[in-house]
Structure 1
Amino acid sequence: MVNIGNGYYYEVINAFGSWLDDINYISGSQYGTVLILKENTINMNESFLNSNDFNYSAPLELYLTARTMGSNGDSNMRYNLTWSFFVDSGFKYLVRLHFCEISMLVTKVNQRVFGVYINNQTAEENLDLVALSVEPVSPLYRDYVGMVDLENQRRKVFMLISLHPNFESKPKYHDAILNGVEIIKLSDREITSATNNFNEDLVIGEGGFGKVYKGIVVLDGVVIDVAIKRAKANSRQGFKEFQNEINFHSFYHMNLVSLLGYCQESNELILVYEYMAEGSLCDHLYKKQKQPLSWNQRLEICIGAARGIHYLHTGRTTPVIHRDIKSANILLDQHLVPKISDFGLSRVVPSTYHTHVSTEVKGTFGYLDPEYYKRRKLSEKSDVYAFGLVLFEVLSGRAAVNPEAVEEENEKVGLVEWAMHCHQCGSIDRFVDSYLEGKIRLKCLMAFVDICIRCSAIKSADRPTMGEIEDDSRVCTCWCFDSRVAFGVAKALDERDALKKQLEDSKTEHGKALEASEAENVKVYDDLTKAFQREGKLRDDQRAF
């Protein structure tokens, strides 16, 4: 436990021991500047006092000091404020960072925005404490999970925690701030103790693998909310997915759900994940279990989810295809940060395969790539197609499969078929979620619809990459606020697309191909829907094998 800046003013001790001075942990030549709040004006808001882990939270004195990067914004942009901690290798760690905006100069949103990095991996990009705080000068903490790999058989390695200003939102100050750090090693034995004998009152969900329970783990005085997934008894499918989940959670990304631990004993298969307080994206869109999302919130969720999938496709030595992208597998934390979950069907693309993998069809009907479904050709673009369905859900507030009947239609239709029909008729407003009526600027709407259509192209070659989807979705957010900013970003993307077009002579007829693929979309989905209806397989969240 480290108290940032405490050597200058306060000695902090609580029931779990002393909080050490951070001066011995700062890495590099830049030490930043210590802030001291000499009068105790910390606002312990009611929600913080009533939280489950208040008894285990940091002492009030921790928030009276902090370290910032300093007042020179230009200089701050050229370095990271970094702390280095010696930890055991080969383990996962919970990193809990404590924050309180105690500077009297920072009282409004977008005055100080910064990123958090753990071992040079992005943990959070746009942290704005004022935006997150319930009241001024109120404490909060953020939890991150980091994996420290075993390096050359070394038992001890350094974990780096770094802060750096974020300039994309054009904040008033290019600066960062931190009050305290806790680093807790995650033990499988202690984590799996959170099951509480699988109390049925704690069930928060159920899927093909089994039931999901909410649990609480206390490690060194720190309370962690967790989600516990328990496999169905004697499930062969469950064991395969159990192994897959473990294999594909060896890496960390801010937009991927973290696996904290697992247990395989006494015929039990248990997976323990970080708890996502706001449930799934589909809960907010059409299951009506959560408050509806604003358009800006939906865009930010789409950008974050695209970033997570893009990391799977490009962030590792060998690409990973998720194979079950859907709104139910995009989970939201308490701050609506999206994270991709459920890697039970994921597949690594071997380096010997340049374009696709031939494999049996698995996934959820309604999100299946037509090329994959008909020809068993699995590629990263299969995830792109499924994500296009998620984007249609985000816009319409309806499920990808068998949505409720539209008033103007006599029968229920698939979401893609309906979207294409509305687009071709020039009445896309009929497709938009009624909650969003009058809340989306026209340029933003048309740009978003264009992304949806390109993602759902029948031919995988006509679909964009997840990186392009992330970039184009950012343009949509710009159209929401400042047309001048949007013009600059759009111009840069136009230049990128022009260069890509020059390099791909085979796509000179892209516009015609896109129109053809729209019409083909309608026909193929109509055929698939009828086929599944005949076989009695058209059900929500059903996997096709």
Structure 2
Amino acid sequence: MLTLAVLARSMGEWKGVPMLLILFILFITHVTTTNAIASKLNRFVPQDNYLLSCGASAAVKLDDGRAFRSDPDSVSFLSTPTDIKIAAKTSLAAASPLSPLYLAARVFSEISTYSFFISQPGRHWIRLYFSPIPDSQYNLTTATFSVSTDNMVLLHDFSFIANPPNPVVREYLVLAQGDNLKIIFTPKKNSMAFINAIEVVSAPPSLIPNTTTRLGPQDQFDISNNALQVVYRLNMGGALVTSFNDTLGRTWLPDAPFLKLEATAEAAWVPPGTIKYPDDNTITPLIAPASIYSTAQQMASTNTTNARFNITWQMVAEPGFRYLIRLHFSDIVSKALNSLFFNVYVNGMMGVANLDLSSLTMGLAVAYYKDLIVESSSIINSTLVVQVGLGTTDSGEPNAILNGLEIMKISNEASSLDGLFSPQTSSQVGKRTLTGIAIALAVTAALAVVICFRRSRKPAWQKTNSFHSWFLPLNSSHSFMSSCSKLSRSRFGSTRTKSGFSSVFASSAYGLGRYFTFVEIQKATKNFEEKGVLGVGGFGKVYLGSTEDGTKLAIKRGNPSSDQGMNEFLTEIQMLSKLRHRHLVSLIGCCDENKEMILVYEFMSNGPLRDHLYGDTNIKPLSWKQRLEVCIGAAKGLHYLHTGSAQGIIHRDVKTTNILLDENFVAKVADFGLSKDAPSLEQTHVSTVVKGSFGYLDPEYFRRQQLTDKSDVYSFGVVLFEVLCARPAINPALPRDQVSLAEWARTWHRKGDLSKIIDPHIAAQIRPDSLEMFAEAADKCLADYGVDRPSMGDVLWKLEFALQLQQKGDVVDGTSDGVPMKSLEVSNMNSMEKSGTAIPSYVQGR
């Protein structure tokens, strides 16, 4: 304004014109010009823009240029019975790596309200900043409180007790319908509330549409009256994008921590200046900045033929809520139009089929986004899974991309973004909400009664605390029949972990075997000694443990800070608690203490089958007879999975590293983290997200996302050829026609010349008829369509037949050691009938 005044005084020819009028004209010109420049640069000028640094003695200016008002400037917004402000000590503030927003706070011992005048109704951002400041009088780490607007619950019983000590930012998009927006802090009884900083900022009207397509039914869902919470905002293939590079003050995190398997993805990048936005302004940098569209994750090894895999991102979601998924795309990987076609899946359902960005954007490197609504019924195991993979069309390059991802929780029927807690009184809560609350309370009460009942009936074998007694023999009648009373007690008395294990452990307490204390586990593993690590997975590490009497155990320790593998860990608990077979690795017990999730298994001293085939020169290769016996054992374990219960179970990750050998080289199938219940009698398949391992994945399952037990059969066929040829299922270093073991081995089998690819260690040991029976079983397993593959019972029959042929000797003129071939077959069938093994249908009719 000073500059304008100087300019006005210098305009001597404006004589007679009042100074105020001149200033007004210049001010309007200045504002108009500023807005025009902002519009040209696609910068958003919010009508309401309240930035408060609560408790601060002076304004706080951030690196992105935004200035947060100090507490004296913002006190007019606050209504509180108590005026409490705290700040970090000068010495701590100087050394703190945190933003200055977290160095001061307002503390509330009673209900307190911030009120903001709203000049333009519509969606507004609310960003809340929390970080407990060390203070001798107020221990903010124990503060428990709720935060709401006058018509929406944002947080209920929020506390840093159940959160890490790091700063927390909660970001919401709420609908301001009047001229006033209130943010209400309600401390829990005998506790307090606090806040470090608040943003209340207008959002662009075009940012969130009123209606969005629902995943599955593909109809429209109205979200115009719902509030949203931003849960994830990810920059695929790129680095952290802060508010400095986003005109709407948003932060975009790198996607790497959420990638299910990093080997499937390869980052792509172009200069941000090459990104174009549609001329009709349907998409602008307000949707996402160019820095998001200029990076992407694409399929790795796109030069590999028949690349059958998806890029998968996995995030934690809260059950009971719908989610808005926003997918950002820009084709920065193609060299020509109409050369990229791919599918998008969300929680196993088709989100977009054969997405052709060129047809939608009419160019390369053009911004595009797609919104989808995920129903609460689709949130399984508290997980949201987003995948991109090859489309069904054969044209174009085999590739798929994703540039950015936003996931927003949608408020529920109780007008809440944090559970079934309404900001209104109970009499005003809808009937459906009350019903949901009543059901939740009833279930909780029922669980408590069951737990108390089981506590009173604690078996004598569980009462001992001596370490030497905690290994149970595998034939113990208690192993999978007794509940862990101590486990149940810990679940109802401890805080919920980040991964959500608490509630699942409580509901899975039956059938988990022996309960171990964390001290016992530490003693068994020598405090998790690194040299005792047997293996590492997405869930964490597996350690070698031993009891005082020398009995060895395998101890799997879950990593709560890693989202990858958490759901698989829980699935394994649920599956193993109801499985029992000589050829399945046995679960002995568990530990759930100090936020640790630990499973204890029988120790398989000879490790995975793969180590005995190739890769470890210190291990003597298995003989052909041993390999047949191992394959038969694994087939028996899988056959039991498929047929041992009314519904059956599909393993979904059959491979040589998941077939373990004990001290007697007895094979046992392990790792049930990806397992699924088989389809019921009324179903032909289970529609689910494609999961598995490269080289072993059923191509029909990949194409159709329809899982059956024949998917396990396909994977086992790859295992059989791996056993025969002693090479990996996928080896990208080989010539193209040899990369895939399944395709390579089937080619040589059709040529009738398998001898050229057999492992040299066993080539001289194999009887020709035994080899042919084995190879025929493997080849049939790898049929392109599941209907053409045998059942595991059929495969088992052929493998046992191959073993008998190997033991009987060469077949000469229709006999085997003087025994007619037909008699040998009948003898084999009789022995299988006695052992309870199913006889293949094509043999029964002979």
TM range (shorter): 0.5 to 0.7
CA contact (8 A) 2:794 2:840 kept: no
Q: Distance in 2 between matches of 1:345 and 1:358?
A: 14
* Residue type of the alignment partner of 2:750: Q
Aligned to 2:117: none
Aligned to 2:836: none
Q: Distance in 2 between matches of 1:242 and 1:382?
A: 21
Higher relative contact order, chain-length normalized (CA < 8 Å, sep 6+): 1
CA 1:151–1:338: 2 relative to 1, 3 Å: closer
Aligned to 2:787: 461
User: Among residues 587, 592, 604, which one is paired with 1:276 in the alignment?
Assistant: 604
Q: Distance in 1 between matches of 2:621 and 2:632?
A: 18
Q: Which moved more, 1:492-501 or 1:463-472?
A: 492-501
Q: Distance in 1 between matches of 2:528 and 2:602?
A: 17
Residues 1:383 and 2:709 are matched in the alignment: no
Q: Distance in 2 between matches of 1:88 and 1:489?
A: 51
Residues 1:225 and 2:552 are matched in the alignment: yes
* Residue type of the alignment partner of 1:425: K
User: Among residues 778, 799, 802, which one is paired with 1:473 in the alignment?
Assistant: 799
User: Among residues 368, 375, 388, which one is paired with 2:697 in the alignment?
Assistant: 368
Aligned to 1:311: 640
Q: Distance in 1 between matches of 2:521 and 2:755?
A: 49
* Residue type of the alignment partner of 2:825: A
Q: CA deviation at 1:444?
A: 0.3
Aligned to 1:212: 542
Q: TM-score normalized by structure 1?
A: 0.56
* Residue type of the alignment partner of 2:534: I
CA contact (8 A) 2:609 2:660 kept: yes
CA contact (8 A) 2:697 2:715 kept: yes
CA 1:380–1:497: 2 relative to 1, 3 Å: closer
Q: Distance in 2 between matches of 1:283 and 1:195?
A: 23
Q: Distance in 1 between matches of 2:800 and 2:576?
A: 27
**How many residues get paired?**
333
CA 1:373–1:353: 2 relative to 1, 3 Å: farther
Q: CA deviation at 1:198?
A: 1.1
- Counting aligned pairs with the same residue, the percent is 43
What per-residue deviation string (whole Å, max 9, x for no partner) do you get for residues 319-353 of structure 1?
01111010000000011001111011111125355
Residues 1:262 and 2:590 are matched in the alignment: yes
Q: Distance in 1 between matches of 2:643 and 2:660?
A: 21
Q: Distance in 2 between matches of 1:358 and 1:234?
A: 30
Give SS of 2:590's match: strand
Give SS of 1:309's match: helix
Give SS of 1:272's match: strand
* 1:57-456 correspondence runs (5 A): 88=459, 144-148=474-478, 186-189=514-517, 192-193=521-522, 194-218=524-548, 222-250=549-577, 251-288=579-616, 289-351=618-680, 353-402=682-731, 405=734, 412-456=738-782
Aligned to 2:422: none
* Residue type of the alignment partner of 1:195: T
CA contact (8 A) 1:89 1:151 kept: no
Give SS of 2:543's match: strand
* Residue type of the alignment partner of 2:553: V
CA 1:486–1:200: 2 relative to 1, 3 Å: farther
Q: Distance in 2 between matches of 1:187 and 1:494?
A: 44
* Residue type of the alignment partner of 1:439: Q
Hey, which of these two has a bigger chunk of helix by percent?
A: 1
Residues 1:488 and 2:823 are matched in the alignment: yes
CA contact (8 A) 2:728 2:741 kept: yes
Q: CA deviation at 1:502?
A: 6.7
Segments of structure 2 that go 5 or more residues without pairing to the other structure are 1-457, 465-471, 486-512, 809-815, 831-838
Q: Distance in 2 between matches of 1:234 and 1:458?
A: 40
Segments of structure 1 that go 5 or more residues without pairing to the other structure are 1-86, 94-141, 156-184, 504-545
CA 1:89–1:238: 2 relative to 1, 3 Å: farther
CA 1:367–1:89: 2 relative to 1, 3 Å: farther
What per-residue deviation string (whole Å, max 9, x for no partner) do you get for residues 196-227 of structure 1?
22111111222232221111123xxx432011
CA contact (8 A) 2:515 2:590 kept: no
Aligned to 1:537: none
* Residue type of the alignment partner of 1:357: V
Give SS of 1:383's match: helix
Give SS of 2:730's match: coil
Q: Which moved more, 1:311-320 or 1:257-266?
A: 257-266
CA contact (8 A) 1:226 1:274 kept: yes
CA contact (8 A) 1:191 1:217 kept: no
* Residue type of the alignment partner of 2:801: V
* Residue type of the alignment partner of 1:296: K
Give SS of 1:279's match: coil
Q: Distance in 2 between matches of 1:475 and 1:412?
A: 29
* Residue type of the alignment partner of 1:364: S
Q: Distance in 2 between matches of 1:254 and 1:485?
A: 33
Q: Which moved more, 1:342-351 or 1:278-287?
A: 342-351
Q: Distance in 2 between matches of 1:230 and 1:486?
A: 52
Q: CA deviation at 1:294?
A: 0.2
CA contact (8 A) 1:90 1:147 kept: no
What per-residue deviation string (whole Å, max 9, x for no partner) do you get for residues 26-60 of structure 1?
xxxxxxxxxxxxxxxxxxxxxxxxxxxxxxxxxxx
CA 1:447–1:237: 2 relative to 1, 3 Å: same
* Residue type of the alignment partner of 1:367: Y
CA 1:244–1:296: 2 relative to 1, 3 Å: same
Q: Distance in 1 between matches of 2:590 and 2:777?
A: 38
Q: CA deviation at 1:403?
A: 6.8
Q: CA deviation at 1:500?
A: 6.7
CA contact (8 A) 2:624 2:765 kept: yes
Q: Distance in 1 between matches of 2:843 and 2:687?
A: 28
Aligned to 2:19: none
CA contact (8 A) 1:192 1:272 kept: no
Q: CA deviation at 1:446?
A: 0.5
